[in-house]
Chain A
Amino acid sequence: MKRLVIAFGFLAAIAGVIANGWLLLMMARQFRLH
């Protein structure tokens, strides 16, 4: 069970890193538009 939660945690963290990276990219583009 604990291993399953750790695997879920890794999935969440990786998904979060990708999403936040994309957000930062979009923010940088948005600031360049101004």
Chain B
Amino acid sequence: MIKKLAVLTRYLLGFDFFVNGVNWWWKILPYPALNDPPDAHTPHFVQAMIDTGFLFGAIKGVEVIAGLALLTNRFVPLALVIAFPVTVAAWAVDVGLLTESFRAQVMGWSLLTMNAFLMVAYLDSYRALLHAHATPGQGWETAANGHE
């Protein structure tokens, strides 16, 4: 059951990320895009990221790459980890700064829920990350021994 839910959620989150990311270069959503003039409705925090000239584009790039990885089922655990800071930032903007928008609440909470659930569903892939006392160099030692 978890597997079926994870497959469905993977496609949903993948599409969500991909469409939101692509929108920066090809306007398909009523959200800020590269060639849009500044909009008074855009939160100051988001406008500040856009004004840097690179940060918002980089975030959208992460969304496109993560979206493609999720849709094509390639490097999914890695994509989920890379996308998680973007998810948290989008959730913070949607829930914390766009408080009057019901749509933003739905989008923010759904994004966070999907990303968090998928990370729980792929827990097996993260087991190596969950060592309280990790030792550096272990993998390299093993690899060297293997060639001797």
Given known pairs A11-B113, A23-B16, A30-B27, the reply for A18 and B106 (CB within 8 Å) is: yes
Chain B residues within 8 Å of A, Cβ to Cβ: 1-2, 5-6, 8-9, 12-13, 15-16, 19-20, 27-30, 103, 106-107, 109-111, 113-114, 116-118, 120-121
Q: Are A16 and B110 in contact (CB under 8 A)?
A: yes
Cβ-defined partner of A8 (8 Å) among B16, B29, B106, B120: B120
Majority-rule SS of A interface residues: helix
Cβ contact of A9, chosen from B9, B15, B20, B111, cutoff 8 A: B9
Task: Tell me, rounded to whole Å, the shortest Cβ–Cβ distance linking A13 to chain B.
Answer: 5
Set of chain B residues within 8 Å of A5, measured between Cβ atoms: 2, 117, 120-121
- Which chain B residue has the least Cβ–Cβ distance from A6? B1
**Cβ-defined contact, B15 with A22, below 8 A:** no
Instruction: Count A-B pairs with CB separation below 8 Å.
Output: 79
Residues from 1 to 34 in A contacting B, C-beta threshold 8 Å:
2, 5-6, 8-13, 15-20, 22-23, 26-27, 29-31
Q: In the complex, are the beta carbons of B114 and A15 less than 8 A apart?
A: yes
**B9→A31 contact, CB < 8 A:** no
Q: How far is the CB of B122 from chain A (nearest CB, A)?
A: 11
Contacts of A26 in B (CB 8 A): 29-30
Whether B106 lies near A16 (C-beta < 8 A) is no
A27 and B1 alpha carbons, distance in the complex (Å):
31
> Which residues on the B side are within 8 Å of A13 (C-beta)?
5, 8-9, 12
Give B120's nearest chain A residue, CB to CB.
A5
